Amino acid sequence: MTEWDDLRQGIGDIDRKILDLYEERMKAVRMMARYKRETGMEPPEARRERCEWSAAADSGAGRLLQLLADLGAEERQRTVSARDSQGAARALKVAFQGIKGCYSEEAAMDYFRDQLEPVSLEGFENVFQALGQGQADRGVLPLENTSTGSIDQVYDLLAGYRCHIVGEYVLPVRHCLLGAEGASLEGLEEVFSHTQGFLQCEIWLSAPERRHWRRTPHYDTATSAALVAKLGDPAKAAIAGRQAARAYGLRILAEDIQTYSNNHTRFIVISRDPEVTSRCDKISLMFSVRNESGSLYRILAEFARYGLNLVKIESRPIPEKNWEYRFYVDLDGNLNEPGIQEALKAVEGQCLEYRLLGNYVKG
Protein backbone atom coordinates (compact mmCIF):
# COMPACT_ATOMS: atom_id res chain seq x y z
CA MET A 1 0.00 0.00 0.00
CA THR A 2 1.40 3.39 -1.02
CA GLU A 3 1.48 6.55 1.09
CA TRP A 4 -1.32 7.92 -1.13
CA ASP A 5 -3.47 4.86 -0.34
CA ASP A 6 -2.77 5.32 3.36
CA LEU A 7 -3.96 8.92 3.16
CA ARG A 8 -7.13 7.96 1.27
CA GLN A 9 -7.88 5.24 3.81
CA GLY A 10 -7.34 7.73 6.65
CA ILE A 11 -9.80 10.17 5.09
CA GLY A 12 -12.31 7.34 4.70
CA ASP A 13 -11.96 6.46 8.38
CA ILE A 14 -12.53 10.10 9.35
CA ASP A 15 -15.59 10.31 7.08
CA ARG A 16 -17.12 7.28 8.79
CA LYS A 17 -16.59 8.92 12.19
CA ILE A 18 -18.24 12.10 10.91
CA LEU A 19 -21.25 10.08 9.72
CA ASP A 20 -21.54 8.39 13.13
CA LEU A 21 -21.42 11.79 14.87
CA TYR A 22 -23.99 13.17 12.42
CA GLU A 23 -26.40 10.36 13.36
CA GLU A 24 -25.82 11.07 17.06
CA ARG A 25 -26.55 14.77 16.47
CA MET A 26 -29.81 13.99 14.64
CA LYS A 27 -30.90 11.71 17.50
CA ALA A 28 -30.18 14.53 19.97
CA VAL A 29 -32.17 16.98 17.80
CA ARG A 30 -35.18 14.63 17.85
CA MET A 31 -34.92 14.24 21.63
CA MET A 32 -34.78 18.02 22.07
CA ALA A 33 -37.83 18.50 19.84
CA ARG A 34 -39.75 15.92 21.88
CA TYR A 35 -38.74 17.55 25.18
CA LYS A 36 -39.77 21.00 23.94
CA ARG A 37 -43.12 19.66 22.80
CA GLU A 38 -43.83 17.98 26.14
CA THR A 39 -42.80 21.02 28.18
CA GLY A 40 -44.53 23.55 25.94
CA MET A 41 -41.28 25.26 24.93
CA GLU A 42 -41.17 26.63 21.40
CA PRO A 43 -38.47 25.28 19.05
CA PRO A 44 -35.63 27.77 18.61
CA GLU A 45 -35.69 29.88 15.47
CA ALA A 46 -32.93 29.29 12.94
CA ARG A 47 -31.35 32.66 13.70
CA ARG A 48 -30.69 31.57 17.30
CA GLU A 49 -28.68 28.59 16.09
CA ARG A 50 -26.83 30.77 13.59
CA CYS A 51 -25.68 33.00 16.45
CA GLU A 52 -23.78 30.08 17.93
CA TRP A 53 -21.67 29.82 14.79
CA SER A 54 -21.17 33.55 14.19
CA ALA A 55 -17.58 33.51 15.44
CA ALA A 56 -16.65 31.01 12.73
CA ALA A 57 -19.13 32.11 10.10
CA ASP A 58 -16.54 32.93 7.43
CA SER A 59 -14.55 29.71 7.80
CA GLY A 60 -15.17 26.33 6.23
CA ALA A 61 -15.91 24.92 9.67
CA GLY A 62 -18.45 27.67 10.26
CA ARG A 63 -20.26 26.86 7.01
CA LEU A 64 -20.31 23.17 7.97
CA LEU A 65 -21.76 23.95 11.38
CA GLN A 66 -24.40 26.17 9.81
CA LEU A 67 -25.33 23.36 7.43
CA LEU A 68 -25.72 21.05 10.43
CA ALA A 69 -27.99 23.62 12.08
CA ASP A 70 -30.13 23.85 8.93
CA LEU A 71 -30.34 20.05 8.67
CA GLY A 72 -31.32 19.92 12.34
CA ALA A 73 -34.15 22.39 11.71
CA GLU A 74 -35.36 20.25 8.80
CA GLU A 75 -35.19 17.15 10.99
CA ARG A 76 -37.48 18.73 13.57
CA GLN A 77 -40.06 19.57 10.95
CA ARG A 78 -39.79 16.48 8.77
CA THR A 79 -42.90 14.34 8.47
CA VAL A 80 -42.51 10.65 7.86
CA SER A 81 -45.05 10.11 5.11
CA ALA A 82 -46.45 7.62 2.68
CA ARG A 83 -48.68 8.08 -0.37
CA ASP A 84 -52.33 7.25 -0.84
CA SER A 85 -53.83 5.98 -4.12
CA GLN A 86 -54.07 9.55 -5.46
CA GLY A 87 -50.43 10.26 -4.64
CA ALA A 88 -51.24 12.61 -1.74
CA ALA A 89 -48.97 12.56 1.31
CA ARG A 90 -50.26 10.87 4.44
CA ALA A 91 -48.80 9.83 7.77
CA LEU A 92 -47.45 6.32 8.04
CA LYS A 93 -49.74 3.86 9.80
CA VAL A 94 -47.55 2.25 12.44
CA ALA A 95 -48.89 -0.79 14.29
CA PHE A 96 -47.81 -1.91 17.76
CA GLN A 97 -49.07 -4.17 20.51
CA GLY A 98 -50.64 -2.39 23.45
CA ILE A 99 -52.75 0.61 24.36
CA LYS A 100 -52.04 4.29 24.88
CA GLY A 101 -49.13 4.81 27.25
CA CYS A 102 -47.37 1.51 26.53
CA TYR A 103 -43.63 1.25 25.90
CA SER A 104 -44.21 0.09 22.30
CA GLU A 105 -46.13 3.28 21.59
CA GLU A 106 -43.28 5.32 23.09
CA ALA A 107 -40.74 3.48 20.90
CA ALA A 108 -42.87 4.07 17.79
CA MET A 109 -43.26 7.77 18.61
CA ASP A 110 -39.52 8.15 19.19
CA TYR A 111 -38.49 6.27 16.07
CA PHE A 112 -40.94 7.97 13.71
CA ARG A 113 -40.54 11.38 15.39
CA ASP A 114 -44.23 11.40 16.40
CA GLN A 115 -45.27 11.99 12.79
CA LEU A 116 -47.34 8.83 12.38
CA GLU A 117 -50.82 7.43 12.62
CA PRO A 118 -50.64 4.97 15.54
CA VAL A 119 -52.42 1.63 15.15
CA SER A 120 -52.93 0.08 18.59
CA LEU A 121 -53.48 -3.70 18.50
CA GLU A 122 -54.11 -6.42 21.03
CA GLY A 123 -51.32 -8.91 20.33
CA PHE A 124 -47.94 -9.30 18.64
CA GLU A 125 -49.40 -11.49 15.90
CA ASN A 126 -52.02 -8.83 15.14
CA VAL A 127 -49.14 -6.50 14.18
CA PHE A 128 -47.85 -8.99 11.60
CA GLN A 129 -51.37 -9.58 10.29
CA ALA A 130 -52.10 -5.86 9.97
CA LEU A 131 -48.89 -5.41 8.00
CA GLY A 132 -49.64 -8.32 5.69
CA GLN A 133 -53.21 -7.17 5.05
CA GLY A 134 -52.17 -3.61 4.24
CA GLN A 135 -53.80 -2.15 7.36
CA ALA A 136 -50.44 -0.79 8.51
CA ASP A 137 -47.32 0.50 6.74
CA ARG A 138 -44.89 -0.46 9.50
CA GLY A 139 -44.88 -2.46 12.70
CA VAL A 140 -42.91 -1.87 15.91
CA LEU A 141 -42.22 -4.88 18.14
CA PRO A 142 -40.06 -5.57 21.21
CA LEU A 143 -37.43 -8.22 20.53
CA GLU A 144 -35.26 -8.36 23.64
CA ASN A 145 -34.64 -6.73 26.99
CA THR A 146 -31.27 -6.31 28.66
CA SER A 147 -32.62 -7.59 31.99
CA THR A 148 -34.96 -10.44 31.03
CA GLY A 149 -33.76 -11.54 27.62
CA SER A 150 -35.52 -12.29 24.35
CA ILE A 151 -39.22 -12.04 23.50
CA ASP A 152 -39.64 -15.60 22.21
CA GLN A 153 -43.07 -15.06 20.64
CA VAL A 154 -41.78 -12.29 18.38
CA TYR A 155 -38.89 -14.46 17.17
CA ASP A 156 -41.34 -17.26 16.33
CA LEU A 157 -43.63 -14.86 14.47
CA LEU A 158 -40.70 -13.64 12.37
CA ALA A 159 -40.44 -17.22 11.09
CA GLY A 160 -44.16 -17.52 10.41
CA TYR A 161 -44.73 -14.26 8.50
CA ARG A 162 -43.00 -12.83 5.45
CA CYS A 163 -41.78 -9.42 6.46
CA HIS A 164 -38.53 -7.46 6.57
CA ILE A 165 -36.72 -5.75 9.44
CA VAL A 166 -36.04 -2.19 8.27
CA GLY A 167 -34.95 -0.54 11.52
CA GLU A 168 -34.40 -0.88 15.24
CA TYR A 169 -34.75 1.36 18.25
CA VAL A 170 -33.33 0.87 21.75
CA LEU A 171 -35.62 2.33 24.40
CA PRO A 172 -34.50 3.00 27.99
CA VAL A 173 -37.17 1.35 30.17
CA ARG A 174 -37.69 3.27 33.40
CA HIS A 175 -40.38 1.63 35.48
CA CYS A 176 -42.51 3.62 37.91
CA LEU A 177 -45.01 2.63 40.58
CA LEU A 178 -48.27 4.39 39.74
CA GLY A 179 -51.27 4.91 42.00
CA ALA A 180 -54.64 6.61 42.06
CA GLU A 181 -55.36 9.81 43.96
CA GLY A 182 -54.76 9.28 47.66
CA ALA A 183 -52.48 6.27 47.19
CA SER A 184 -49.27 5.94 49.21
CA LEU A 185 -46.55 3.32 49.56
CA GLU A 186 -47.63 2.59 53.10
CA GLY A 187 -51.24 1.89 52.15
CA LEU A 188 -50.71 -0.38 49.14
CA GLU A 189 -51.96 -3.95 49.13
CA GLU A 190 -51.92 -5.04 45.47
CA VAL A 191 -49.75 -4.27 42.44
CA PHE A 192 -50.62 -4.99 38.81
CA SER A 193 -48.16 -5.35 35.93
CA HIS A 194 -46.97 -7.58 33.14
CA THR A 195 -44.82 -10.48 34.37
CA GLN A 196 -41.82 -8.80 32.69
CA GLY A 197 -42.48 -5.67 34.75
CA PHE A 198 -42.39 -7.70 37.96
CA LEU A 199 -39.21 -9.51 36.92
CA GLN A 200 -37.43 -6.29 35.99
CA CYS A 201 -38.27 -4.76 39.39
CA GLU A 202 -37.76 -7.86 41.54
CA ILE A 203 -35.16 -6.46 43.95
CA TRP A 204 -37.15 -3.29 44.67
CA LEU A 205 -40.36 -5.28 45.18
CA SER A 206 -38.61 -7.76 47.47
CA ALA A 207 -37.66 -5.17 50.09
CA PRO A 208 -39.06 -6.14 53.53
CA GLU A 209 -41.57 -3.29 53.63
CA ARG A 210 -42.99 -4.32 50.22
CA ARG A 211 -42.98 -8.12 50.36
CA HIS A 212 -46.60 -8.26 51.54
CA TRP A 213 -47.93 -6.59 48.39
CA ARG A 214 -49.97 -8.99 46.28
CA ARG A 215 -48.56 -9.16 42.75
CA THR A 216 -51.27 -9.66 40.13
CA PRO A 217 -50.04 -10.32 36.58
CA HIS A 218 -51.95 -8.38 33.94
CA TYR A 219 -51.95 -8.20 30.13
CA ASP A 220 -49.24 -5.52 29.92
CA THR A 221 -47.93 -2.50 31.83
CA ALA A 222 -50.16 0.10 30.18
CA THR A 223 -53.38 -1.88 30.67
CA SER A 224 -52.32 -2.35 34.30
CA ALA A 225 -52.14 1.43 34.65
CA ALA A 226 -55.51 1.86 32.93
CA LEU A 227 -57.05 -0.69 35.32
CA VAL A 228 -55.71 1.10 38.40
CA ALA A 229 -57.08 4.39 37.08
CA LYS A 230 -60.48 2.78 36.46
CA LEU A 231 -60.63 1.18 39.93
CA GLY A 232 -59.56 4.38 41.71
CA ASP A 233 -58.60 2.33 44.77
CA PRO A 234 -55.70 3.87 46.74
CA ALA A 235 -54.70 0.37 47.90
CA LYS A 236 -53.89 -0.70 44.35
CA ALA A 237 -50.99 0.35 42.08
CA ALA A 238 -49.38 -0.53 38.76
CA ILE A 239 -45.84 -0.87 37.48
CA ALA A 240 -45.62 1.00 34.17
CA GLY A 241 -43.87 3.93 32.52
CA ARG A 242 -44.10 7.65 33.11
CA GLN A 243 -46.02 8.01 29.84
CA ALA A 244 -48.76 5.72 31.26
CA ALA A 245 -49.05 7.99 34.31
CA ARG A 246 -49.70 10.93 31.98
CA ALA A 247 -52.12 8.96 29.82
CA TYR A 248 -54.32 7.83 32.74
CA GLY A 249 -53.88 10.61 35.27
CA LEU A 250 -52.07 8.52 37.88
CA ARG A 251 -49.62 9.63 40.57
CA ILE A 252 -46.00 8.47 40.49
CA LEU A 253 -45.40 6.90 43.91
CA ALA A 254 -41.85 5.76 43.09
CA GLU A 255 -39.70 5.98 39.97
CA ASP A 256 -36.73 4.14 38.50
CA ILE A 257 -37.63 1.00 40.42
CA GLN A 258 -36.11 -1.37 37.83
CA THR A 259 -33.32 -3.55 39.19
CA TYR A 260 -30.75 -2.44 36.63
CA SER A 261 -30.25 1.22 35.74
CA ASN A 262 -29.30 0.24 32.18
CA ASN A 263 -32.61 -1.54 31.59
CA HIS A 264 -33.27 -1.24 27.84
CA THR A 265 -35.61 -2.90 25.35
CA ARG A 266 -34.62 -3.37 21.74
CA PHE A 267 -37.49 -2.84 19.31
CA ILE A 268 -37.50 -3.80 15.64
CA VAL A 269 -39.36 -1.99 12.86
CA ILE A 270 -40.87 -4.30 10.26
CA SER A 271 -42.20 -3.65 6.75
CA ARG A 272 -43.63 -5.62 3.84
CA ASP A 273 -40.67 -4.65 1.67
CA PRO A 274 -36.92 -4.42 2.37
CA GLU A 275 -35.26 -1.01 2.63
CA VAL A 276 -31.50 -1.21 2.12
CA THR A 277 -29.38 1.94 1.90
CA SER A 278 -25.67 2.67 2.16
CA ARG A 279 -26.22 3.61 5.83
CA CYS A 280 -27.44 0.14 6.83
CA ASP A 281 -24.89 -1.53 9.10
CA LYS A 282 -26.66 -4.50 10.69
CA ILE A 283 -27.92 -7.71 9.05
CA SER A 284 -30.41 -10.22 10.52
CA LEU A 285 -30.75 -13.80 9.24
CA MET A 286 -32.84 -16.84 10.08
CA PHE A 287 -31.79 -20.40 9.22
CA SER A 288 -32.10 -24.04 10.21
CA VAL A 289 -29.50 -26.78 9.86
CA ARG A 290 -29.34 -30.52 9.39
CA ASN A 291 -29.69 -32.49 12.62
CA GLU A 292 -26.22 -33.95 12.44
CA SER A 293 -22.85 -33.54 14.10
CA GLY A 294 -20.98 -30.36 13.17
CA SER A 295 -23.75 -28.76 11.07
CA LEU A 296 -23.96 -25.56 13.13
CA TYR A 297 -20.19 -25.43 13.47
CA ARG A 298 -19.76 -25.45 9.70
CA ILE A 299 -22.08 -22.43 9.32
CA LEU A 300 -20.33 -20.50 12.08
CA ALA A 301 -17.02 -21.34 10.42
CA GLU A 302 -18.25 -19.61 7.24
CA PHE A 303 -18.94 -16.42 9.20
CA ALA A 304 -15.43 -16.61 10.65
CA ARG A 305 -13.82 -17.40 7.28
CA TYR A 306 -15.24 -14.23 5.76
CA GLY A 307 -14.41 -12.12 8.80
CA LEU A 308 -18.04 -11.33 9.70
CA ASN A 309 -18.72 -10.09 13.23
CA LEU A 310 -21.66 -11.92 14.84
CA VAL A 311 -23.32 -9.75 17.49
CA LYS A 312 -26.09 -12.18 18.48
CA ILE A 313 -27.28 -15.74 17.93
CA GLU A 314 -30.63 -16.99 19.21
CA SER A 315 -32.19 -20.46 18.88
CA ARG A 316 -35.88 -21.36 18.89
CA PRO A 317 -37.46 -24.84 18.63
CA ILE A 318 -39.27 -25.70 15.39
CA PRO A 319 -42.76 -26.72 16.62
CA GLU A 320 -43.43 -29.32 13.91
CA LYS A 321 -40.01 -30.99 14.30
CA ASN A 322 -39.00 -32.44 17.66
CA TRP A 323 -35.54 -31.39 18.88
CA GLU A 324 -34.80 -29.28 15.82
CA TYR A 325 -34.15 -25.54 15.96
CA ARG A 326 -34.16 -22.33 13.98
CA PHE A 327 -31.32 -19.92 14.54
CA TYR A 328 -31.57 -16.15 14.37
CA VAL A 329 -28.31 -14.29 13.80
CA ASP A 330 -27.42 -10.59 13.86
CA LEU A 331 -24.14 -9.46 12.32
CA ASP A 332 -22.40 -6.24 11.37
CA GLY A 333 -22.39 -5.26 7.72
CA ASN A 334 -24.07 -3.83 4.65
CA LEU A 335 -25.36 -6.04 1.84
CA ASN A 336 -23.52 -3.88 -0.69
CA GLU A 337 -20.12 -4.33 0.96
CA PRO A 338 -17.55 -6.41 -0.95
CA GLY A 339 -17.64 -10.02 0.20
CA ILE A 340 -20.91 -9.84 2.16
CA GLN A 341 -23.06 -11.40 -0.59
CA GLU A 342 -20.44 -14.08 -1.20
CA ALA A 343 -20.29 -14.86 2.51
CA LEU A 344 -24.07 -15.11 2.84
CA LYS A 345 -24.28 -17.42 -0.18
CA ALA A 346 -21.71 -19.67 1.48
CA VAL A 347 -23.81 -19.71 4.67
CA GLU A 348 -27.02 -20.38 2.72
CA GLY A 349 -25.39 -23.36 1.06
CA GLN A 350 -24.98 -25.03 4.46
CA CYS A 351 -28.62 -24.50 5.55
CA LEU A 352 -31.84 -26.47 5.23
CA GLU A 353 -33.87 -23.26 5.57
CA TYR A 354 -32.49 -19.77 5.07
CA ARG A 355 -34.05 -16.29 5.03
CA LEU A 356 -32.54 -12.83 5.06
CA LEU A 357 -34.69 -10.89 7.53
CA GLY A 358 -33.27 -7.43 6.90
CA ASN A 359 -30.39 -4.99 6.59
CA TYR A 360 -30.92 -1.82 8.61
CA VAL A 361 -29.32 0.88 10.71
CA LYS A 362 -28.37 -0.05 14.28
CA GLY A 363 -30.47 1.54 16.99
- Listed residues 48, 77, 106: the one ending a domain: 77
DSSP strand pairing (236-240 vs 176-179): antiparallel
Phi and psi torsions of 75, nearest 5°: -65, -40
**Residue-level pLDDT at 88:** 59
**Residue-level pLDDT at 79:** 43
Query: Does a structural domain hold residue 277?
Result: no
Query: Does a structural domain hold residue 212?
Result: yes
Tell me: do 169 and 186 sit in the same domain.
Answer: no
Residues 282/135, Cβ–Cβ less than 8 Å: no
Tell me: do 55 and 108 sit in the same domain.
Answer: no
Which entry of 124, 128, 192, 267 is annotated as an active-site residue?
267
Tell me: do 194 and 150 sit in the same domain.
Answer: no
Q: CA angle at residue 264 from 278 to 124, to 5 degrees?
A: 80
Tell me: do 120 and 136 sit in the same domain.
Answer: yes
Among 86-95, 250-259, 349-358, the minimum mean pLDDT is found in 86-95
228: CATH: 3.40.190.10
* Residues β-bridged to residue 310: 331
Q: Give the model confidence (pLDDT) of 89-124 as tens digits.
A: 678 999 999 999 999 999 999 999 867 999 999 999
Q: Is 128 assigned a catalytic role? A: no
d(CA 144, CA 288): 21
Q: Is 287 assigned a catalytic role? A: no
Q: Give the model confidence (pLDDT) of 215-252 as tens digits.
A: 999 989 999 999 999 999 999 999 999 999 999 999 99
Query: Does a structural domain hold residue 232?
Result: yes
Among 6-10, 99-103, 340-344, the minimum mean pLDDT is found in 6-10
Percent of the chain at pLDDT exceeding 70: 86
Query: Does a structural domain hold residue 82?
Result: no
Tell me: do 246 and 233 sit in the same domain.
Answer: yes
Q: Is 259 helix (H, G, I), strand (E, B) or coil?
A: coil
- Quick check: 326 pLDDT over 80? yes
* Residues β-bridged to residue 288: 326, 353
Tell me: do 91 and 65 sit in the same domain.
Answer: no
Query: Does a structural domain hold residue 131?
Result: yes
14-23, 65-74, 178-187, 330-339, range with greatest mean pLDDT:
178-187
287: CATH: 3.30.70.260
Percent of the chain at pLDDT exceeding 90: 67
Query: Does a structural domain hold residue 355?
Result: yes
Residues 327/353, Cβ–Cβ less than 8 Å: no
- Quick check: 18 pLDDT over 80? yes
Q: What is the mean pLDDT of the chain?
A: 87
Tell me: do 295 and 353 sit in the same domain.
Answer: yes
Under the banding of pLDDT at 50, 70 and 90, the label for residue 83 is low
**Hey, what amino acid is at 148?**
T
d(CA 360, CA 344): 16
Tell me: do 28 and 69 sit in the same domain.
Answer: yes
- Listed residues 222, 238, 271: the one ending a domain: 271
- Listed residues 59, 77, 95: the one ending a domain: 77
63: CATH: 1.20.59
Query: Does a structural domain hold residue 276?
Result: no
Q: How many domains does the chain have?
A: 4
Tell me: do 162 and 205 sit in the same domain.
Answer: no
- Quick check: 23 pLDDT over 80? no
Tell me: do 166 and 192 sit in the same domain.
Answer: no
Query: Does a structural domain hold residue 22?
Result: yes
Tell me: do 110 and 32 sit in the same domain.
Answer: no
Tell me: do 104 and 55 sit in the same domain.
Answer: no
Whether the pTM exceeds 0.85: the reply is no
Among 6-10, 152-156, 277-281, the minimum mean pLDDT is found in 6-10
Residues 221/99, Cβ–Cβ less than 8 Å: no
Which whole number is the average pLDDT over 141-145?
97
Among 3-12, 40-49, 209-218, 348-357, the minimum mean pLDDT is found in 40-49
Which whole number is the average pLDDT over 271-285?
93
Which has the closest alpha carbon to 255: 147, 182, 179?
179
Which entry of 265, 287, 303, 327 is annotated as an active-site residue?
265
Q: What is the extent of the structural domain holding 15?
A: 3-77
- Give, in order, the Cα–Cα distances in Å from 103 to each of 123, 156, 189, 197, 263: 14, 21, 25, 11, 13
**Residue-level pLDDT at 38:** 54
